Structure 1
Amino acid sequence: MDTADRDAPGFVTIGLYTRDEYLFVDELPLAEQTVSAIFAASSHGGKAANQAVAVALQGVESELVAVVGDDTYGHEAIDSLTGYGVRTGRVRLAEGETGRSVMVVDRRGRQTIVNEVGVGPGLDFSLIEQCLASTPSGSWVSIQSELPGRLNTDICRYVQHSGLRLAFNPSPVTGTLEQIDIVGQADLLVLNEGEARSLLAPGDGPLDCELTDVADRIFERWDPWLLVVTAGAAGAFVRSKDIRASVPSIDVKPVDTSGAGDCFTGTLIGSLLRGDDIVDAVSTATVAAALSTQNRFCYPSYPSVQDIEQARERHAVPGGDG
């Protein structure tokens, strides 16, 4: 972004862009059931791309490192992300097809997603290392579980010795040793309720307990600087060394929940980089994610700082309940 201080801490996310193909239906199909779409549409997404846009919308320097196909969709991806203020100098074009996601969304905003990653996993660590070597100390680096585990491990090791901070959303949760090792190294761990429960093995205690108990057990086992477990309309639960707080959401009628978790993660990191305290940053992220569900698609649905501030005032959102 032209006005940003390039020496100030910023945000780098490493992962996927996908072309999102949507089918909107009345009810999600059951196994072996055929349903008719009300209408179809296409848009932009991918967990890393979504987070990059959410951070940029907070007015913070944001960069995406990714590979897209040297096809129409790949060029459209770069143009779209650049238009949102995301730095795309390290989004590489490769021979092959840009990844895509097929999203089926019902009238209550619930969705199922099938990914075809295309050339996305073809990232070379030398490109990532080049980016991170020029990233200011104190910046956040975000990874997800859509890239090969070995590549995420290499990123994690680099970040540990670089003065950068690692954010990890282990989605999807695979339970591999590589993924669990990264969970233990992350400064910021963001999980939804399903991911949080999936991280705990049966030997860690009962899994049908309250979400706050699940979060406490994750925090005690892996000791991140900050753990946030999101719970949809119920808001989020926050754990750090000094904070144990529930942060409420706002009441909205969702149209499409796809990308809401990425909106949350990116807005949270952007708010922290803007200087907000932890609970206020989580509150801002919770409101942003809720607002994103009121419109269709992933990052094109994300709210601006002004949108979030107006919603917080309108709903009289408190900072959190310790």
Structure 2
Amino acid sequence: MPRIVVIGSANADLVLDIDHRPGAGETVLGSDVVVTAGGKGANQAVAAGRLGGDVAFVGCVGDDGYGELLRRSLADAGVDVTHLRTVPGASGNAIILLTPDGENSIIVSPSANRRVTVELLEESRAAWAGAAVVVLQLEIPLATVAHAATTAHAAGARVILNAAPAAALPPEVLAAADALVVNESEAAFLLGGVPAQAAEPGGAAATAVALLDLGPRSVVLTLGADGAVLAARGAEPGHVPARKVTAVDTTGAGDAFVGALAVELADGRDLRAAVELATDVAGVAVGRRGAQAAYPAREEVR
């Protein structure tokens, strides 16, 4: 039984460098397309595997060349792909527009990721229901996320829920999360408004506490260059600063964070220690090109 199971998406990332994001009706010229392995779920599994985590991935890829790319990238990181299903049709893909400041805009076409159904999960239930940590994101059907979160929680697993991309979540799913991991825009969506900015005194901490009131046992609010804020029931919120780096490519940095968080929590570290390592791992990732290709081994982090 793997200690960490990631249930989620796998996408081929189609990356274009552009000078600026196009406005309405505007055409811009970009670089040649570079294809790399990505997808929130696969990214998180690869990040955990690179750090030495005992991790398996449950998901779907298509029977195309992209599917082989995605399977190979996971396996090369030491991830167990026994329950990575190949289905007829196209693999998921993401079109990523990358500007010179390292920021990105992303459009995802789910394709094979839509086939990560409750029925598929039940076929591989023995692989994930008894894991120490189960990691979920929202690029697969929400019914699947809800089933996995509540079932894994009831079985005693620690459920890390990365609520991205933002979507409405039922109370029982939020209640299963320990931790709920979101960035500022995802927090705003869940709270139904714009959360206080990190620059305001206590603003990010107040946002994390408000998220805690939605039902999760703990919350991690990522703040990019400002680090992360964590909150847990019965404890004061805390802040972990980010390492100072020059951002080259922010694609997949949040996924690197979640993968590292899962490894530390599966190893019995407390939430703050886990967030500290996750922040360092994300700091390394943004200084390199790509998503999975940018993720460090543990010896590179410190």
Question: TM-score normalized by structure 2?
Answer: 0.92
Q: Would the aligned equivalents of 1:250 and 1:287 in 2 still touch at CA under 8 Å?
A: yes
1:198 corresponds to: 189
Aligned mate of 1:150, from 136, 143, 150: 143
Task: Tell me, yes or no, if structure 1 residue 166 matches structure 2 residue 164.
Answer: no
Distance 1:135 1:151, change over 3 A: closer
Deviates more, 1:136-145 or 1:210-219: 136-145
2:230 corresponds to: 238
Matches within 5 A, 1:15-164: 15-135=8-128, 137=130, 139-164=132-157
Gaps of 5+ in 2: 198-202
Gaps of 5+ in 1: 1-5, 310-322
Distance 1:147 1:286, change over 3 A: same
1:184 corresponds to: 175
1:3 corresponds to: none
Distance 1:13 1:149, change over 3 A: same
Matches within 5 A, 1:236-275: 236-241=228-233, 242-275=235-268
Q: Indicate the percent of aligned positions where both proteins have the same amino acid.
A: 31
Distance 1:69 1:302, change over 3 A: same
In 2, Cα distance between equivalents of 1:252 and 1:17: 28
In 1, Cα distance between equivalents of 2:253 and 2:5: 19
Q: Would the aligned equivalents of 1:19 and 1:99 in 2 still touch at CA under 8 Å?
A: yes
Q: Would the aligned equivalents of 2:9 and 2:139 in 1 still touch at CA under 8 Å?
A: yes
Letter in 2 for 1:148: P
In 1, Cα distance between equivalents of 2:118 and 2:218: 27
1:229 corresponds to: 221
In 1, Cα distance between equivalents of 2:128 and 2:140: 21
In 2, Cα distance between equivalents of 1:225 and 1:181: 12
In 1, Cα distance between equivalents of 2:113 and 2:225: 32
Superposition RMSD in Å: 1.8
Q: For each residue in 1:281-322, what CA deviation from the matched residue of structure 2 results, as whole angstroms up to 9, or x when unmatched?
A: 11110011111011111111111101112xxxxxxxxxxxxx
Q: How many residues align?
A: 296
Letter in 2 for 1:221: L
* CA displacement at 1:107 relative to structure 2: 0.4
Q: Would the aligned equivalents of 1:25 and 1:107 in 2 still touch at CA under 8 Å?
A: yes
Deviates more, 1:228-237 or 1:71-80: 71-80
Q: Would the aligned equivalents of 1:228 and 1:237 in 2 still touch at CA under 8 Å?
A: yes
Aligned mate of 2:270, from 267, 273, 277: 277
2:200 corresponds to: none
Q: Would the aligned equivalents of 2:218 and 2:232 in 1 still touch at CA under 8 Å?
A: yes
Q: Would the aligned equivalents of 1:90 and 1:127 in 2 still touch at CA under 8 Å?
A: no
* CA displacement at 1:136 relative to structure 2: 7.6
* CA displacement at 1:31 relative to structure 2: 2.4
Aligned mate of 1:289, from 274, 282, 285: 282
Q: For each residue in 1:35-70, what CA deviation from the matched residue of structure 2 results, as whole angstroms up to 9, or x when unmatched?
A: 221443110000000010111122111111111111
Letter in 1 for 2:191: L
Q: Would the aligned equivalents of 1:60 and 1:270 in 2 still touch at CA under 8 Å?
A: yes
Aligned mate of 1:215, from 208, 218, 227: 208
Q: Would the aligned equivalents of 2:222 and 2:228 in 1 still touch at CA under 8 Å?
A: yes
